[in-house]
Amino acid sequence: MADNKIEQVSFNNEVYLISDLTPRAVEGFNVLIKAQQKLNDIATEVKILQAGQAGVSADLKNIIEEDKIKPQVQIEQEQVEEDK
């Protein structure tokens, strides 16, 4: 059976042996890994929420069309500067 123990880690374009890391460095790497995992989870949540938002927007567009709700006409007024 193969031993899948991690023996080295890459950081900042350098490779370090796990056995050379101090407890403080190990803690720093663990925090960095957990932060990356959380960012990945949040990115997934954002994608899910964006998909939901797009679905609700499409439903609302259909509701407006089916219920024949008309938008307000926007009239732009020219601003005339008075001569001083």
Say what the pLDDT of residue 81 is: 58
Residue 37 within any structural domain of the chain: yes
- Whether residue 80 lies inside any domain: the answer is no
Does 41 map to a domain? yes
What domain range is 53 assigned to?
A: 22-66
Residues in the chain, how many? 84
Contact 15, 8 (CB under 8 A): yes
Q: Number of structural domains, the chain? A: 1
The predicted-structure confidence for 2-59, as pLDDT tens digits, reads as follows 678 889 999 999 999 999 999 999 999 999 999 999 999 999 999 999 999 999 999 9
- Sign of the C-alpha dihedral computed for residues 21, 26, 28 and 33 taken in this order: positive
Q: Which long-range contacts (CB under 8 A, 24 or more apart) does 59-63 make?
A: none
Is residue 74 in a domain?
no
32 falls within a domain? yes
